[in-house]
Structure 1
Amino acid sequence: MKKNIAIIMGGYSSEYGISIKSGNVVHKYLDREQYNSYRIVVTKEKWVYLDDSDQEFPVNKSDFSIQPAAEKITFDCVFNAIHGTPGEDGLLQAYFELLGIPQTSCNHYQSALTFNKRDLLSTLKPYGVQCATSFYLNKGQTIDKDAIVDKVGLPCFVKANRAGSSYGVSKVYQKEELENALTAAFKEDSEVIIESFLDGTEVSVGVITYNSEITVLPITEIISENDFFDYEAKYMGKSQEITPARLSEIQETKVRDLAEFIYRTLDLKGYTRSEFIFIGDIPHLLEVNTTPGLTEESLLPQQAKTAGISLEELFASAIEEALR
């Protein structure tokens, strides 16, 4: 009997549009011989099921069901394609856990931890994971520009602490630029992380559970045409993404081992994509994404394709792992 799969997409953050694209790709490639696929769009205003003609039907939040016709439809599994809140920060994971509905991404605690860059890096530092020097700032606190520059140096990166797709990220060259960069970051989140500039090769490493095995996918090297790997570079073709990355054998071994170590140590599941910058042969962690982009052009699907895994296989595996 075919399983009913809810593909949740949208969300409450600036990543709404990217999430819609990811969710529609999952809907397109999900095997109709195995699964009934339902697109569920989540916004602050409403949760709705979209049929193939884009007609909307409300979602009953008490049990996460829909009733587009006479018969009520419940779901065997939720495929999470929401980037940002509430799909990447643990809120929906906790909701589905309470309802007893399997879902494809990390559990609620791991999602909340990895989405918070400051907490993630603080958790991993005792394990010897290298990262940039950082300075933390919350909205409303006094901004001491001299203290910031003294700690992280220039240039530096100002980032919204809980955001993705490079929203709220600025590269700052002069102390006078900090105020505008912080204003942009605080539009995305009430917490900011300011990091020292790491000058080295940037790579992205996908780690997934595939056919019940933790699998490190081929590594992608990122070369941005812009000043850094910003929104334009990620989504508007302003970068080169080279898979497999042009790394030495020792670099490849170290970053593969580190990405898998992080996945196992934090007890992650489903899809993850971790970003690193090499200083010499040492990978420095930038962040971990637990609901990475899933369009045909996104990094994780590129990596899976290089590994010989089709989108149909990639998506089906995530569902089967969740159902187990």
Structure 2
Amino acid sequence: MRPNIAVIYGGDSSEYIVSVQSGKNVFQSIDTELFHPWLVEMKGFEWKVFVDGDESVEIDRSDFSFVYNDEKIKFDYAYIIIHGTPGEDGILQGYFDLLKIPYSTCGVHSSALTFNKYFCSNFLKNFDVPMAKSVRLKKGTEIDIRSIVGELGLPVFVKPNAGGSSFGITKVKSVEKLKEAVENAWKESDEALVEEFILGTEFTCGLVKLKNEEFVFPLTEVLPKKEFFDFEAKYTKGMTDEITPARLSPELTLKCQQLASKVYDLCNCQGIVRVDFILKEEEFYFLEINTTPGMTSTSFIPQQVTAMGMKLKTLLSKIIQDGLS
């Protein structure tokens, strides 16, 4: 009998629309000869599973099951593809831990750590991971512009401390625009980060480590046609050149992959993770770690898996079988 796999998308953040596309691509990529995938949408208190096309059935949140054709169906595994809360910050992971249902992502503590950019960066600093200097600002606190600019200089990047898909990010070049940018970031998160600007090229590295094997994917070189890799550049066709494998020497490629692997281990990650860097003068500076990275048909991870010479279906099968074993 094939295990029932819940492919869970949705969530309660601005990244909902991206999660929808990621969820559908993962669902379509699961090997139906090995597994029985079900598409599950979570949005607030509305949890539903889709069956026979558009028909939906409510999920029983007490045990994460549903009834279909008078039969109670329980899930054996959860493939979480919610970007943002509650799927990337540890909340959903805690729920599945209580129910003893294995899942595809980092655990509670790892998810909570990596979702908070400030906490994660400060943790990794202890292990000599290079990164930009930053200042954290809690919503509603006074913004000491002179002090921030004195410490970080200009330009700076202002971003939500918890969030993704480049929502709420602004590149600030003048003192006059800093307050507005911070308030914009506060719309996405209760805390904003102001980060030192590092001039360089962005690279991203996906990887996954299973019980008996690991895969560190080829790098992607990210060349936005706008000033930086914002939401429009990420999700508008033609706005960014994404080169996989990246045009780097074997030595620099290995250096980046090893640093991504180090970050993965230090943060005690599980499942597919993507680590983003800026390369400046042959030094890779850590930007952030994505523990439920985009999985749309055009996202970085599927690109990297293909460049590695593997089918996404094969990799997903390995991940699910590893979790079920």
Is 1:269–2:264 an aligned residue pair?
no
Stretch deviating more after TM superposition (218-227 or 252-261)? 252-261
Q: CA deviation at 1:248?
A: 2.7
Residue type matched to 2:308 in 1?
A
Q: Partner residue of 1:150?
A: 150
Residue type matched to 2:158 in 1?
V
Q: CA deviation at 1:121?
A: 0.4
Question: What is the RMSD of the two structures over their aligned residues, measured on CA atoms?
Answer: 1.1
Q: Partner residue of 1:280?
A: 281
- Please give the per-residue CA displacement for 1:184-207, whole angstroms capped at 9, x wherever unaligned: 101100011110111011100001
- Please give the per-residue CA displacement for 1:92-150, whole angstroms capped at 9, x wherever unaligned: 01110111000001111101111110011000001000100101100011111111111
Residue identity (%): 42
Q: Give yes or no for contact 1:12–1:84 (8 Å, CA) kept in 2.
A: yes
Q: Partner residue of 1:107?
A: 107
- Please give the per-residue CA displacement for 1:22-60, whole angstroms capped at 9, x wherever unaligned: 111111121111111111100014111112322221111
Aligned-partner SS, 1:72: strand
Q: Partner residue of 2:82?
A: 82
- Once residues 88 and 226 of structure 1 are traced to their aligned partners in structure 2, the CA distance between those partners, rounded to angstroms, is 28
Residue type matched to 1:285 in 2?
F
Q: Partner residue of 1:69?
A: 69
Aligned-partner SS, 2:163: coil
Aligned-partner SS, 2:57: strand
- Once residues 234 and 211 of structure 2 are traced to their aligned partners in structure 1, the CA distance between those partners, rounded to angstroms, is 29
- Please give the per-residue CA displacement for 1:147-201, whole angstroms capped at 9, x wherever unaligned: 1111111110000000000011100000110122112101100011110111011
Runs of 4+ in 1 over 4 A off after TM superposition: none
Residue type matched to 2:245 in 1?
P
Residue type matched to 1:261 in 2?
K
Structure 1 residue runs of 5 or longer lacking an equivalent are none
Q: CA deviation at 1:211?
A: 7.6
TM-score by length of 1: 0.98
Q: Partner residue of 2:34?
A: 34
Q: CA deviation at 1:317?
A: 1.6
Is 1:141–2:141 an aligned residue pair?
yes
Q: CA deviation at 1:210?
A: 5.4
Q: What count of residue pairs does the alignment treat as equivalent?
A: 324
Q: CA deviation at 1:236?
A: 0.8
Q: Map residues 1-324 of structure 1 onto 2, 5 A cutoff.
A: 1-209=1-209, 212-237=212-237, 238-324=239-325
- Please give the per-residue CA displacement for 1:199-249, whole angstroms capped at 9, x wherever unaligned: 011100001125832221000000000110111111112100001111133
